[in-house]
Amino acid sequence: MAGKSTYIRQAALLTVMAQMGSFIPASEARVGICDRIFARVGASDELSKGQSTFMVEMTETARILNSATNRSLVILDEIGRGTSTYDGISLAWAVTEYLHDKIGCRTLFATHYHELTELSQTLSRVTNWNVAVQENRDEVIFLHKIVEGTADKSYGIHVARLAGIPAEVIQRSRIILETLECDHLDETGKPKIPNRAQQSSSDRQLALFQKETHPVLDELREMDLDRMTPLSALQELHRLRAGLGPDKESS
């Protein structure tokens, strides 16, 4: 309800208006030329095509990543919300890195994942902005003003209370939120996110048909089996077996 989605849509519309030569409602603006504008905003499924909300989201995101250039403008709203929290954060994190490193286009990315704000420390062209909010005890006032920096927290529970969710549910959700945040943050209060150099377990897994390198295998490949007698082959086998040592021999 703070206005993130409205703000990024407005930026895309103003870009279209400026590029077509129209006046825009601003006292001053600097708008570069865009070859295309890509938008991944909103949540909707495609029942006729058998596609879930998340599948539609990923399809549109894939189109952006495969088609955008460094002259494009991309607006993304809540990438990864259609799946589990950890899957969503992982995808949103990787998409941001890809847009920054591989494509290099101007991007506005609205998200509720506070973990993504850490990217400003590792990606040189990433900056964080948030919508100002004024709190007065349990009351929240959205100021609809964009300021630099990261948001301290989300206000989903406040919005749920405004929507009429029973007080018992609101109180219980606050307790659960505090527990989850304690498990999700490190001792410094920052999200537990791996660095970019860390590989996933799938990257470290050996290939099924990967060629093994071992001295014994090299010797076996060099043997001329056609000229060896059964006795000499047995002697070679005993020699190789002895060279493996007692531990490997017992296995």
Q: Kind and range of the H or E element at 169?
A: helix 167-184
Q: Kind and range of the H or E element at 136?
A: strand 129-136
Tokens of 46: 């495609």
- Give the pLDDT of residue 251: 43
Contact 57, 33 (CB under 8 A): no
- Considering the segment(s) 4-152 as one domain, its CATH architecture is 3-Layer(aba) Sandwich (3.40)
In degrees and rounded to multiples of 5, residue 70 shows phi and psi of: -70, -5
Read off the pLDDT of residues 78-118 as tens digits, 9 standing for 90 and up: 888 778 778 888 999 999 999 999 999 999 999 888 888 88
Quickly count: other Cβ atoms within 10 Å of residue 95's Cβ.
23
Read off the pLDDT of residues 58-74 as tens digits, 9 standing for 90 and up: 999 999 999 999 999 99
- Give the pLDDT of residue 199: 52
Q: How far apart are CA 187 and CA 195, in angstroms?
A: 17
CB-side exposure of 174: number of CA atoms within 13 Å? 13
Q: How far apart are CA 251 and CA 245, in angstroms?
A: 10
Contact 96, 123 (CB under 8 A): yes
Q: Kind and range of the H or E element at 158?
A: helix 156-163
> Both ends of the chain: CA-CA distance in Å?
64
Domain spans of the chain? Answer: 4-152, 155-187
List, for the chain, all residue ranges whose pLDDT scores fall below the cut of 50.
206-209, 248-251
Residues with Cβ within 8 Å of 11's Cβ and at least 6 positions away in sequence, in order, are 73, 75, 108
Which of these, 40, 27, 30, lies nearest to 109 by C-alpha position?
Answer: 40
- Give the pLDDT of residue 60: 92
Residue at 131: amino acid letter: V
